[in-house]
């Protein structure tokens, strides 16, 4: 049953709002994804709090017009277009789609949106191989912690040296 104009306007306003509030979004086209593979992708994406949906090109074009993006970015794309949108993490949609494509060759990345700017598929792939936010935070904390650990080891080294000298003196006298 075709959607009514009211339903299409509702979908368009939701899509526009999601894109405005998104930290990142990834557009991909797919041709022959099985239902099982699609369910696996949706389960992975749902766990990461990413909004994933298949969107008609005309609605996507209208949403892009409202947001001021070029509308010819996906003009020559055959097949269906899906979009993964995240309002929380900049890297999560790219990682999820890129990980799925590594296992299934039935999907291609068209491009994406990062901080309200269009990025091409190569930049999306580069974004996908970046470490996650949690990994980057852990590395930053360990980098900050390293000088303090070194200082503690240096200060403890003097005490260790003193203990070793006292032990050697004790062994020598006994």
Mention every residue, 6+ apart, whose C-beta is less than 8 A from residue 96: 41, 44, 45, 48, 50, 84
75: three-class secondary structure by DSSP: coil
For residues 134 and 124, which has the higher predicted lDDT (pLDDT)? 124
Residue pLDDT, tens place only, 27-74: 998 877 888 888 888 898 988 889 998 888 888 888 888 888 877 777
Whole-model pTM over 0.95: no
User: Got the DSSP string for 117-172?
Assistant: EEEEHHHHHHHHTSPPHHHHHHHHHHHHHHHHHHHHHHHHHHHHHHHHHHHHHHHH
pLDDT > 80? residue 132:
no
**pLDDT exceeds cutoff 80 at 19:** yes
Neighbours of 16 (CB within 10 A): 17
Q: C-alpha angle with apex 136: 145 to 129, nearest 5 degrees?
A: 150
Please provide the average confidence, as pLDDT, over all residues in the chain: 86
According to the model, what pLDDT value does residue 73 have? 72
**How many Å apart are CA 52 and CA 42, to the nearest integer?**
7
- Specify whether the CB–CB gap between 33 and 85 falls below 8 A: no
Identify the band that residue 1 occupies on the pLDDT scale cut at 50, 70 and 90.
low
Mean pLDDT over 158-173 rounds to 87
Residue pair 90/127 in contact (Cβ under 8 Å)? The answer is yes
Average pLDDT over every residue of 134-147: 86
Q: Is the pLDDT of residue 162 over 70?
A: yes
Question: What confidence category does residue 85 fall into, taking pLDDT thresholds of 50, 70 and 90?
Answer: very high
Alpha carbon distances (Å) from 85 to 106, 109, 168? 20, 14, 67
């Amino acid at each position: 049953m075709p959607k009514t104009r009211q339903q299409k306007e509702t979908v368009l306003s939701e899509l526009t709002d999601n894109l405005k509030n998104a930290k990142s979004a990834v557009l991909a086209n797919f041709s022959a994804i099985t239902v099982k593979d699609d369910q696996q992708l949706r389960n992975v994406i749902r766990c990461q709090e990413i909004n994933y949906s298949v969107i008609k090109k005309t609605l996507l074009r209208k949403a892009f017009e409202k947001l001021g993006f070029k509308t010819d970015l996906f003009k020559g794309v055959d097949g269906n277009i899906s979009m993964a949108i995240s309002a929380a993490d900049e890297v999560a949609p790219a990682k999820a789609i890129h990980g799925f494509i590594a296992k299934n060759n039935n999907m291609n990345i068209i491009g994406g949106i990062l901080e309200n700017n269009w990025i091409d598929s190569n930049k999306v792939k580069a974004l996908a191989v970046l470490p996650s936010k949690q990994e980057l935070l852990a590395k930053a904390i360990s980098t900050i912690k390293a000088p303090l650990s070194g200082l503690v080891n240096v200060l403890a080294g003097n005490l260790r040296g003193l203990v070793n000298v006292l032990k050697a003196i004790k062994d020598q006298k006994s």
